[in-house]
Amino acid sequence: MPFLKNEDLRRITGIHDSAEYELDLQGLDWPHAEASIERMLERSRFRPPRDVVIRIDPATATSGETLFQPVGRQLVDAIKAKTVARCRPLPEGNAGFWVELIGNPNAVEGDESEGDGEAPPP
């Protein structure tokens, strides 16, 4: 019986530990992390769909409360608001989430307007 390659196993089980983009929240407190995620979600409305890995500090014996629960709740709210298609915790050994942003399917990669109120050049 042939064995599966790691990539095939990840694809079948839905385990994701890499993505097109990464949002590193390590070392941030909750208000700053929350603002960073909100900014990412807002900007995603003007960009093509993409995958993002959100990294947070891992739990340790002395770390106290981590960002895992509040970030997870924020992502669940984003799923309900239909800005996030799917999210999964990262596999063991990595702290954070893999997120699939719905984005704008009609957006073109590299579009500089990003919804910041400025009209694109003529």
The CATH number of the structural domain formed by 19-101 is 3.30.110.40
Q: Could you tell me the residue ranges of all domains in the chain?
A: 19-101
The Cα 85–Cα 102 span in angstroms is 5
pTM of the model: 0.72
CA distances from residue 112 to 19, 37, 43, 47, 92 in whole angstroms, order as listed: 22, 20, 11, 10, 37
Q: Please state, in angstroms and rounded to a whole number, the distance separating the CA atoms of residues 8 and 43.
A: 32
Per-10-residue mean pLDDT for the chain, 122 residues long?
Answer: 60 62 90 94 89 88 84 93 90 84 80 47 44
- How far is 57 from 120, CA to CA, in rounded Å? 38
Place of tokens 């995603």: 44
